[in-house]
Amino acid sequence: MDWQGQKVAEQLMQIMLVVFAIAAFVTGYIAGSFELMMYVYAGGVVLTILTTIPNWPFFNRHPLKWLDPSEVEKHPKPQVTTSVSKKKPAKK
Amino acid sequence: MHSFSYRANALLTFSLTILALMCAMASLTDNFNSPSPTATVQILNVNRFQKRSNGDDEVAITLNISADLQSLFTWNTKQVFVFLAAEYTTPKNTLNQVSLWDRIIPTKEEAKFSVKPKNKYKFIDQGSNLRGRDFNMTLHWHVMPKTGKMFADKLVLPGFRLPESYSYR
Amino acid sequence: MGFIGDQIDSLKSLKVRQALEQVITLGMIVSSALIIWKFLMCVTGSESPVVVVLSESMEPAFQRGDILFLRMGEDPIRAGEIVVFNIDRREIPIVHRVIKVHERNDTKDIDVLTKGDNNDQDDRVLYAPGQQWLQHQHIMGRAVGFLPYVGYVTIIMTENPIIKYALIGALGLLAITSKD
């Protein structure tokens, strides 16, 4: 998942859950059934899990463009190597 | 940072927070319900009226209770617990509440009923004060929600009086 | 090789710092839980503001694992209320409904009799030998709110200590190793 994808996934998760919660509450209240509210919300949670948790290709449309290693050799600065090596584990 | 488990954790936390919020809101909607239950209670017969060996008065009665508690039910109601209590004051006690009968109502359909039970719990006074005693019948109900706040209220039915003398067997 | 040595040193110090941070985070979680608990005690005026239902004696109102919110309050105890009481020499508090109340004229002392909705008999069999009534000092609070199922975890944990320790261990490990 790339940076853009992470942002989208997080926002999508929150929006979907809130929308489903509102929908569940309204249907449950109108139908007068607490159980119906729970089922609608449970369905919404499952759908949200399926949409936002797996690493869909949809979330990887903006891959990072890493500098070519040859670039580093052209500008041999120690700071550059450390900052790159620190960033890498943060990617995951 | 943004791994599979991180996303799963965030989703779980967020969904549970919203669930708690939904339950709280469901409990709040109960406040919009303004119930208007009705009930009538009669004493059909005083079956036995005596002094126990320790000096306390005891009465056994047959009741006739009909009530319509359907308006108490909302979408967040799990059950209604209804009970009938005799309430009276004696020289020694400012308040005596003695439950005589109770019932659990699980659905709205069963909330309109008419029964003729004997007292389910013993009607015993703390002392010997029941002869000719005026008392109120109070029909109490406790609404158990599916989640959230419990509600309770009562209907006071005054004007009951016990016999002046013990019964003979 | 001085450059690599520096790197390793900085990494090491980072680890120590991180570990310390984790310990502090863990301590914060524990202390904030304690603060919430004590705060609830203050607000509700009850010794244990939240209890988990352990028995089936109040079904169908309360099932095992449901959570009750308690409040003591100034109002006198009345019939129909669900109270939590503690019998002398009995460790586990009981949650039952009040069916009889006698309030004294002069001292305002109360005598209370309770019964579980699902029980056939009143609670005199549960009280201490010879005890006929509950007094005010036995009552820890009255139930005002209700949340289903949430307390079931604690029942599982008290019944299977192994799961409890496994869970605590796993959570501790997670808190220490996670790098969020």
**pLDDT given at position C92:** 82
Can you tell me the mean pLDDT for C52-61?
84
Helix (H) or strand (E) holding B67: strand B57-68
Q: Which of C96, C102, C111, C138 is catalytic?
A: C96
User: Among residues of chain C, what percentage have pLDDT more than 90?
Assistant: 8
Residue B93 and residue B54 in one domain: yes
In a domain, A92, yes or no: no
Taking contacts as CB-CB distances below 8 angstroms, the residues of chain B near C103 are 93-96
Q: Is the pLDDT of residue C19 over 90?
A: no
Q: What is the pLDDT of residues B53-70, one digit of tens each?
A: 888 899 999 999 999 999
Query: Does residue B7 form part of some domain?
Result: yes
In eight-state DSSP terms, residue B118 is B
Residue A88 has pLDDT above 60, yes or no: no
Give chain B's mean pLDDT. Answer: 89
Of C101, C144, C145, the CB nearest to B95: C101
C22: pLDDT confidence band, cut at 50, 70 and 90? confident
Q: What is the pLDDT of residue A79?
A: 60
Which residues, other chains included, contact C170 with Cβ-Cβ below 8 Å and sequence gap of 6+?
none
In Å, how far is B52's CA from the nearest CA of chain A?
50
Task: Tell which wins on pLDDT, A27 or C129.
Answer: A27
Check B11 against A92: CB less than 8 A apart. no
Confidence of residue C7 (pLDDT cuts 50, 70, 90): low
pLDDT of residue A92: 40
Domains of chain B: total? 2
DSSP 8-state assignment for residue C131: -
**Same structural domain, B21 and B98:** no
Task: Kindly list the domain boundaries of chain C, sorted by start residue.
Answer: 1-44, 50-153
Q: Which residue has the higher pLDDT, A91 or B27?
A: B27
B86 and B147, same domain (yes or no): yes
Asked if C103 lies within 8 A of B99 by C-beta distance, the reply is no
Query: E strands along chain C, which residues?
Result: 50-52, 67-71, 82-85, 94-104, 110-115, 139-147
pLDDT tier, C131 (very low <50, low <70, confident <90, very high otherwise): confident
Percent of chain B with pLDDT over 70: 98
> In this predicted structure, what is the pLDDT of residue C153?
80
Nearest to B147 among C101, C102, C147 (CB): C147
| B131 and B51 fall within a common domain | yes
pLDDT digits (tens, 9 = 90+) for B129-145: 888 889 999 999 999 88
User: B93 to chain C: which residues are within 8 Å by CB?
Assistant: 102-105
> What does the pLDDT average to over C81-95?
85
Q: Chain A residues with CB inside 8 Å of B76's CB?
A: 34
Residue of B nearest to C101 (CA): B97
CA of B81 vs chain A CAs: smallest distance (Å): 19
Q: Which tokens in the block code for residue C81?
A: 């209320």
In this prediction the ipTM stands at 0.82
Give C77's DSSP letter.
P
Is C57 an annotated catalytic residue? Answer: yes
Q: Which domain holds residue B59?
A: 33-161
Closest residue in chain C to residue B10, using alpha carbons only: C180
Residues in Cβ contact with B116 at an 8 Å cutoff, skipping those fewer than 6 apart: B44, B62, B63, B64, B65
* Mean pLDDT, rounded, of chain A: 80
Report the residue of chain B nearest A33, measured CA to CA.
B75
- The CB-side HSE value for A28 (13 A sphere, CA atoms) comes to 25
Q: Are strands C50-52 and B57-68 parallel, antiparallel or unpaired?
A: unpaired
User: Is there a domain that residue A26 lies in?
Assistant: yes
Residue-level pLDDT at A70: 75
Chain B residues in contact with C122 (beta carbon < 8 A): 121
**pLDDT number for residue C2:** 66
Say if residue B81 is in the same domain as residue B19.
Answer: no
Q: Residue A86: what pLDDT?
A: 46
Q: Indicate whether A38 belongs to any domain.
A: yes
Residues B26 and B43 in one domain: no
Q: Is residue A81 part of a domain?
A: no
**Predicted confidence (pLDDT) per residue in C91-119, tens digit:** 788 889 999 999 988 888 889 999 998 88
The amino acid at B151: F
Options C57, C117, C122, C178, the catalytic residue: C57
Answer whether residue B167 is part of any domain. no
> Closest approach of chain B CAs to the CA of A42, in angstroms?
10
Where does C50-153 sit in CATH, by number? 2.10.109.10
The answer as to whether A15 is a domain residue is yes
| Position B22 in a domain | yes
- C120 in reach of chain B (CB within 8 A): no
Exposure string of A31-60, with b = 16+ CB inside 10 Å and e = fewer, is: eeebebbbebbeebbeebbeebbeeeeebe
Question: Could you report the per-residue pLDDT of B77-125, keeping only the tens digit for each?
Answer: 989 999 999 999 998 889 999 999 999 999 989 999 999 999 889 899 9
